Structure formats: C-alpha cells, structure tokens
Structure 1
Amino acid sequence: MLNTILAIVTFFTLTGTENTNDVQANVTESTVIWKATKVVGGGHEGTVVVKEADLKLKGTELKGGSFTVDMTTISSTDLEGEWKDKLDGHLKNDDFFGVATYPTSTFKITKVQKTAEGKYNVTGDITIKGTTESITFPTTVTAEGDKVTTNATITLNRTKYGVKYGSSSFFDNLGDKAISDEFKLIVTLVTVK
C-alpha cells in the first residue's frame, strides 16, 4: 500500500509540475491591433493598450497565460482630427464597447496544443462587455536571447459580445453602412525570461 501511495505521489510530482515559469509581459512592447471592415469595402483599424499580461513558459514552450487590455484606450490609427475623435468616442460608447461599464477585456488560456516547433493551437476564454466565449486560434512563439515573443491573429464575431451596431445580422436596410460582424485582433506579447 505504501509503495502504491509513493508511486502516485511520484507520478503527480513528475507529471503535474512542468517547471513552468510565470513571466510578465513588457506592456510597453506588447501590442493589440484591431481591424474592422465594412460589408461593402472600407474599414478602420487601431490599437488598444495591453494593461497586463503573463505567460506560463517551460523554457520557450508556451504552457498557458492570460492578458488584459484597457478598453478605455481603444483608438483608431487610420484617421486624424475630428473624424478620429468621432470614431474613437463612438467605439467607447454603448453602441460598441461601453467602456464606462466595461473598462477591460480579458483572455485566459485554458488549453495549449503544440503543433510544431514554436507553433501552437491555443484555446481560451475571452471576455468582452461582460460576456465570455471560448475561442481557439493558432499562435507562434519565437525566442531571441532572453526575449520571448508570442504572436496571434484572433478573429471574433462581435455580435456574440453584444456589439450589434451596424450589423446586417440584426438590422435591415443598412446598405453600404453595414459593418462586418467579424473583426480581427493582432496580438503581440513580449516577455523577458
């Protein structure tokens, strides 16, 4: 009986702890770029600031992690002046992300599947406007010296998070003012081991 208990303890000691390190991201080097398009040509893009992020790494292998973005910083980068101010203000109001009520959005990894050296399929829970959905997307991890960089392009359907403004899935006769339901987040997290 004692041998069985020791064997179980040894098994969990060897397999349950993967010697992972929690590594904080450098938020000044990490970026999130968003890209949205209209149904009939055109679109906008911009940034949102990474508030905090950490990755669980075993050496340079990705094992888990999470990040939080500050939605109050969402802004367009393809416009200037009055048009930029109008779009940025609209993105922050309740038609879109309601940042006064929902100042942050988060993503937490729940599963990592290695597909090749430096390449992974990542599954996790993303929360936007208080709604959480599970998503899966490909991710690459590169290491240069002590710096580890994680890159991913995430495609989301905004209507799943209550962002329905200008969606032809919910409103008729929008014509060329219809905005695509899907938008992209291009995420780069930079950490130093």
Structure 2
Amino acid sequence: MKFVLITLITAVSFASVAQKNVAEKIDIDLMQSKLEWTGKKLGGEHYGNIQLSSGHLTFSKNKLVGGTFEMDMASINCVDITDAKSNKRLVDHLKSEDFFSVERFPKSTFIITKAESKSATEYLVTGDLTIKGKANPITFTAKINTMSNQTIAEATLVFDRSKYDVKFGSQSFFENLGDKLVYDDVDMTVKLVLRSE
C-alpha cells in the first residue's frame, strides 16, 4: 500500500512538472495590436499601417520559443499624406503590381524559427518573412514586457523589399533613377498585445 502511494505521488509530481513544461500558445489581440511601416525615398518618406489578421506567440517556462503573425495587405494605408486624392494614389500604387501585388498576394506572414533570450525582457528573434509568396530569413531584437496582467511584445525590423520582387524605383533593378529613387529598406514597427485569460 505504501509503495502504491509513493508511486502515485511520484507520478503526480512528474505530471505536474510536465504540465509546466508544455508550450503555451497565446493569441494576439487584433484590436489592440498594430503594425506601422515606413518607406523612404530620395528626399522624403511615407508611413502608415497594416492590420494584422491573425497571430500568436508561444512560450515555454515563461520564455518565448515561437510564434507567427499574418498581415492583411489589403488594409495597407498611408497616414502622412493629408490630401485625399494624393493619399489614394499612393495607396493604390502600393497595392499594385509595382509594389505588393495585393490582389494576387493578399496576405504576408512572419514565422519565428528561433528566439534567443538576451535578458529577462529582450530576445534576438529570427524568422521567415513571406511577402508576395517569397520567404526570406530576418533577425531583429524584440522586447516582451508584462504589466497589469497584460503582455506586450514590441520590435522594429527592417526588410529589403528587393528580395521580395518589389522592384519599383529600386536601384537593385534599375540605374540612373535620380529623384525617382525609392530605397530598398522598409521599416516595420510591430506591437503585439497578447490576449489575457
């Protein structure tokens, strides 16, 4: 009887430890999360937002181990141009075949392949960014903080649009662009607010 009791306690203890080690997937709060983009050209820049359509982060032992988020490319907008016609002209151009070919590729995704803890709140994140059906690895620093039972992950990453066949105004594809030059690097600032239980 004593042996059975000890065996039972041991089994429960192992089960408890195993439960704590199970990876936990937490969905992103799409209403509170946001993604901002900035594109630069010779003599200026434009910036705006892209809505997230889904996503989650995965934790094990309270450490980030994985995750993904999906971007709705049809939602891309510009917030720095105040004239309605000029604003629409730029947004339509961004959605066209010159840039992100939104009709053919309505979604872009990022999938974490590695998350290396640098401190209690900072990670070096590597993952695959897919735009226009082309996937390329990208690495950046992310910070994750929990305050008042709300966990927020924030990062700024830079991707080279020429690697995704976004050719318009790119010196990677064209010469002698002059003042028509649009730089290849695009900045994305991401704020992921995780859904609380």
Letter of the aligned partner of 2:185 in structure 1? Answer: E
Q: Please list every run of 5 or more consecutive structure 1 residues that lacks an aligned counterpart in the other structure.
A: 1-13
Q: 1:33 and 2:14 equivalent?
A: no
- Between stretches 57-66 and 41-50, larger displacement belongs to 57-66
Instruction: Kindly provide the CA deviation profile for residues 72-120 of structure 1, in whole angstroms up to 9, marking residues without a partner as x.
Output: 0011110121010000000001100000000000001011100111000
Q: How far, CA to CA, are the matches of 1:85 and 1:59 in structure 2? A: 47
Q: Would you say the 8 A contact 1:60–1:143 is kept in 2?
A: no
- Between stretches 52-61 and 160-169, larger displacement belongs to 52-61
Partner of 1:101: 104
Equivalent of 2:70, from 68, 75, 78?
68
Q: How far, CA to CA, are the matches of 2:145 and 2:51 in structure 1? A: 22
Residues 158-177 of structure 1 aligned to structure 2 (within 5 Å): 158-177=161-180
Partner of 1:45: 47
How high is the TM-score relative to the length of structure 1? Answer: 0.88
Q: How far, CA to CA, are the matches of 1:125 and 1:163 in structure 2? A: 17
- Between stretches 159-168 and 17-26, larger displacement belongs to 17-26
C-alpha root-mean-square deviation of aligned residues, in Å?
2.0
Which SS does the other structure have where 2:104 is aligned? coil
Equivalent of 2:137, from 128, 134, 138?
134
Count of residues paired in the alignment: 181
Q: Please list every run of 5 or more consecutive structure 2 residues that lacks an aligned counterpart in the other structure.
A: 1-16
Which SS does the other structure have where 1:160 is aligned? helix
Instruction: Kindly provide the CA deviation profile for residues 153-191 of structure 1, in whole angstroms up to 9, marking residues without a partner as x.
Output: 010000000001001221122111100010111011001
Which SS does the other structure have where 1:126 is aligned? strand
Which SS does the other structure have where 1:76 is aligned? coil
Equivalent of 2:125, from 98, 122, 127?
122
Q: Would you say the 8 A contact 2:21–2:61 is kept in 1?
A: no
Letter of the aligned partner of 1:105 in structure 2? Answer: S
How high is the TM-score relative to the length of structure 2? Answer: 0.87
Partner of 1:157: 160
Letter of the aligned partner of 1:26 in structure 2? Answer: D
Instruction: Kindly provide the CA deviation profile for residues 107-134 of structure 1, in whole angstroms up to 9, marking residues without a partner as x.
Output: 0101110011100000111100000011
Q: Percent identity?
A: 36
Q: Choose between structure 1 and 2: higher strand proportion.
A: 1
Q: How far, CA to CA, are the matches of 2:90 and 2:21 in structure 1? A: 46
Partner of 2:5: none
